[in-house]
Amino acid sequence: MLIILLIFFLIFSHPIFAVDPIIKITNYSAITDPEWVEITNTTPNSIDLNDWFLRDENDNSNERNSITLNGSIATNATIRIEKAKGWLNDSGDTIYLYHTNEQIDKLTYPVPTPIPSIDPNIIINPTSGISLTEFMPYSSIEWVEIYNQNDFKIKLVGWQVGDNSSVTKNIPELIIDAKSFNTFDFSTFLNNNDADKVVLYDNNKKIISSYEYHGGAYDLEMSWSLINNSWCRAEITKGQTNDDNCFTPPTTPTPTSTPIPTLTLTLTPTPTLTPTPNVTLTSTSEEITNNPTPVSESMVLGETTTGSDIKNNFLPLILIIGGGILLLSPLIITKIKK
As beta bridge partners, residue 222 has 235
**Banded model confidence at residue 104, pLDDT cuts 50, 70, 90:** very high
What pLDDT score does 15 carry? 40
Q: Are 222 and 232 in contact (CB under 8 A)?
A: no
CA distance 172 to 167: 16
What gap in Å lies between CA 262 and CA 133, rounded to an integer? Answer: 58
Does 171 have pLDDT greater than 80?
yes
Query: How remote is the C-alpha of 68 from its chain's centroid?
Result: 51
DSSP secondary structure string for all residues of 212-256: EE-SS---TTEEEEEETTEEEEEE--TTSPPPS----PPPPPPPP
54 neighbors 69 (Cβ within 8 angstroms): yes
Examine the pLDDT at 286 and tell me if it is beyond 60.
Answer: no
- Whether 297 has a pLDDT exceeding 60, the answer reads no
Comparison of pLDDT for 273 and 204, the residue scoring more: 204
Domain with CATH 2.60.40.1260 in the chain: 16-109, 122-235
Of 11-20, 58-67, 104-113, 171-180, the least confident: 11-20
Please give the backbone phi and psi of residue 103, each rounded to the nearest 5 degrees, phi first: -75, 125
Q: Which of 43, 39, 49 is nearest to 16 (CA)?
A: 43
Q: Is the pLDDT of residue 290 over 70?
A: no
Say whether 169 sits in a helix, a strand or coil. Answer: strand
Query: What's the whole-number mean pLDDT along residues 147-174?
Result: 89
Q: What is the mean pLDDT of residues 317-330?
A: 76
Q: So what's the pLDDT on residue 265?
A: 57
According to CATH, what is the number of the domain 16-109? 2.60.40.1260
- Write the DSSP assignment of 255-313 as a string of letters: PPPPPPPPPP-PPPPPPPPPPPPPEE----HHHHHH--S---SEE-TTSPPPHHHHHHH
pLDDT tens-digit map of 194-244 = 888 999 999 888 999 999 998 888 888 899 999 998 999 999 999 999 888
Q: What is the pLDDT of residues 8-60, one digit of tens each?
A: 545 444 443 344 678 999 888 887 888 889 899 988 899 999 999 999 887 65
Residue 285 pLDDT grade (very low, low, confident, very high; cuts 50, 70, 90): very low
What's the CATH number for 122-235? 2.60.40.1260
Query: Which amino acid appears at position 72 of this protein?
Result: S
How far apart (Å, rounded) are the C-alpha atoms in residues 145 and 225?
Answer: 9
- pTM for the full predicted model: 0.42
Please write the tens of the pLDDT for every residue from 233-246.
999 999 999 888 89
Q: What is the pLDDT of residue 324?
A: 76
Is the separation of the CB atoms in 300 and 310 below 8 Å?
no
Bond prior to 112 in cis (omega within 30° of 0): no
Q: Rounded to an integer, what distance in angstroms lies between the CA atom of residue 246 and that of residue 249? A: 10
**pLDDT over threshold 50, residue 288:** no
Report the range out of 29-33, 41-45, 109-113, 144-148 with the highest average pLDDT. Answer: 144-148
Q: What whole-number percentage of the chain has pLDDT above 70?
A: 69
Q: CA–CA separation, 323 vs 288, rounded Å?
A: 13
**Taking phi first (over 0 means left), then psi (-120 to 50 degrees means alpha), and beta for anything else, what does residue 30 get?**
alpha
The per-residue pLDDT of the chain, averaged, comes to 77
Mean predicted confidence (pLDDT) in 119-130: 86
Euclidean distance between CA atoms 288 and 295, whole angstroms = 9
Q: Is the pLDDT of residue 293 over 70?
A: no
Predicted pLDDT at 115: 52
Nearest to 280 by CA among 313, 323, 320: 313
